[in-house]
Structure 1
Amino acid sequence: MIDNTLFWSASVEDLAKGYIFNEDSGEFICLICNEKFENGIIYPSLCEGIYYEAKKAIAEHIKIVHQSMFAYLLSLGKRHTGLSDIQRELLHYFSQGISDKEIAKKLDSSASTIRNHRFKLKEKEKQAKVFLALMQLLDNGGVKEENFVAFHKGAKMVDERYAITELERKKILTTYFKNGVDGPLDTFPSKEKRKLIVLQQISTKFETGKNYTEKEINDVLKAIFHDYVTLRRYLIEYGFMERDRDGSTYWTRT
């Protein structure tokens, strides 16, 4: 699965670009799909007859494959952005350079109302800067709390159950995978936090970007636990995987 830790630990500047540069590997890594472009290699453009160096290639990749980083971040929804539906819609229109008057017509509103929304969004930006500064000072000067497990961006029903530290994760995996995480699952937990960690580990057995048939899913899950049907159902229910309407194709969430 996609390394969500990479996404959530990226700086604001890197999130805006949509990629990071790993100095150790010399690779530019897409924060959306984890596609990698190695520095020093020339890549064919998605437009025929053009070639780009790695940095230019990943920028084109984000623009063409993912539309834009702006569109992707906006699509994450209120849980991740803190924006209401109307604020997200307005930001979409603002990004297109549409005037307040034109937006007001589209939304059956008034230009003054749109201007008021612009003002509130600017205030929200200021608050976000202060909050980021506070968190940075807390990290630099205080006692650091344990790192929390990063879950996939498609996680459903996110609440306190997802507040799991890395230490808790290791203990849970040791308890339920007695022969190691590459071995079978001893029992399937009933408690929510434990269930989430076990499902997250199981989901790593599937490749991101690859489509699976139900039989292929079952074959992988049978090697992990005898009740593979339950595992498959919970992987879907908790958003670790998706499937099409007829259940013929499955894929992991990023």
Structure 2
Amino acid sequence: MNLTNLTIDDLKRGWHQTATALSCNYCDASWEPTTAIEMIEQHLTIVHGGNQSSLIHLDSRYNTLTAKQQNLLTAFATGIKDADLAKQFQLAAATIRHQKFTFREKAKQAKLYLAIYQSVFESGQTSNDLIALPEQPGIVDDRFAITEDEVAQTLKQYFDFDHEPLQLKRWPKKQKTIVMILTRIIDEIPLNQPLSEAELNAYLRPIYFDYTTLRRYLIDYGFLKRTVDGRQYWRTTTQED
């Protein structure tokens, strides 16, 4: 699932609209724009166990719910009474009520954060600002003078954002374009997590068949660093990180 291109409404219903079709958020299934919503919901139920359950248990680094929280949310969705739920989980009823309160508070925090983020980054006032890049080991020239608008347009040409996982369509010729696609590829690598070469390759291999080239350029342009013996790699940070 590509969260970058999905709205909150898309996530809540389990499908999204592209230029030519209605597409499932979880697989490659797609339908004609005139397809009845009931048919799409049937697909979500039969193939994915329902959108709500799939969303709660989504295997994504952005899903920070613990297994216990996922189970509680699944139970809350059934409408079960607090007292019965407390017995089922062998918890005090007060604990269940407190957990509901915690979920509501987190939702309020998320709402405020989203409003702040959108007011800062989606107001149209910063679209021509230069993006933050890692510190470069060589000479910094116009390859690194890249705006948000340039990145957005370039990424559309080189990635299929309807495809999961992320895949690079072709390797660009211009160095500035390479830098721009690397800014997206590096997002697939976890921060603050040392990786062996095999672990790093596991992240890069699905993106592009020549993953060794990806690895080399990520290092050359400062997005990744490695130990002298090449046994361990880690993602560098920018001011935005």
TM (norm. structure 2) is 0.55
Q: Identify the residue that residue 36 of structure 1 maps to in structure 2.
A: 30
Tell me, yes or no, if the aligned pair for 1:101 and 1:111 is still in contact at 8 Å.
Answer: yes
Match among 80, 84, 97 for residue 115 of structure 1: 97
Q: Identify the residue that residue 68 of structure 2 maps to in structure 1.
A: 86
Task: State the superposition RMSD in angstroms.
Answer: 3.6
Residue 28 of structure 2 aligns to a residue whose secondary structure is: coil
1:22-171 residue pairs with structure 2 within 5 A?
22=18, 24-25=19-20, 27-40=21-34, 53-76=35-58, 79-141=61-123, 143-144=126-127, 145=131, 166-168=180-182
1:196 deviates by: 3.5
Q: Identify the residue that residue 196 of structure 1 maps to in structure 2.
A: 203
One-letter amino acid of the structure 2 residue matched with residue 18 of structure 1: G
1:121 deviates by: 0.4
Tell me, yes or no, if the aligned pair for 1:30 and 1:36 is still in contact at 8 Å.
Answer: yes
Give CA-to-partner distance per residue, 1:28-51, whole Å, 9 cap, x none: 1111112111134xxxxxxxxxxx
1:220-235 residue pairs with structure 2 within 5 A?
none
Residue 130 of structure 1 aligns to a residue whose secondary structure is: helix
Tell me, yes or no, if the aligned pair for 1:37 and 1:57 is still in contact at 8 Å.
Answer: no
Counterparts of 1:168 and 1:8 in 2: how far apart (Å)? Answer: 16
Relative distance call for 1:67 and 1:165 in structure 2 (3 A) is: farther
Residue 91 of structure 2 aligns to a residue whose secondary structure is: coil
1:85 deviates by: 2.4
Residue 202 of structure 1 aligns to a residue whose secondary structure is: coil
Alignment of 1:21 with 2:11, yes or no, is: no
1:153 deviates by: 6.8
Relative distance call for 1:170 and 1:76 in structure 2 (3 A) is: closer
Identity over aligned pairs, percent: 27
Give CA-to-partner distance per residue, 1:25-79, whole Å, 9 cap, x none: 1x11111112111134xxxxxxxxxxxx443321221122211111001112573
Counterparts of 2:100 and 2:185 in 1: how far apart (Å)? Answer: 47
Give CA-to-partner distance per residue, 1:63-119, whole Å, 9 cap, x none: 222111110011125732222222211101101111111111112111111000000
TM (norm. structure 1) is 0.52
Tell me, yes or no, if the aligned pair for 1:28 and 1:38 is still in contact at 8 Å.
Answer: yes
Tell me, yes or no, if the aligned pair for 2:165 and 2:207 is still in contact at 8 Å.
Answer: no
Q: Identify the residue that residue 223 of structure 2 maps to in structure 1.
A: none
One-letter amino acid of the structure 1 residue matched with residue 207 of structure 2: Q
Gaps of 5+ in 2: 132-147, 167-177, 187-196, 211-241
Relative distance call for 1:81 and 1:38 in structure 2 (3 A) is: same
Counterparts of 2:100 and 2:73 in 1: how far apart (Å)? Answer: 9
Gaps of 5+ in 1: 41-52, 155-163, 173-189, 204-254
One-letter amino acid of the structure 1 residue matched with residue 181 of structure 2: L
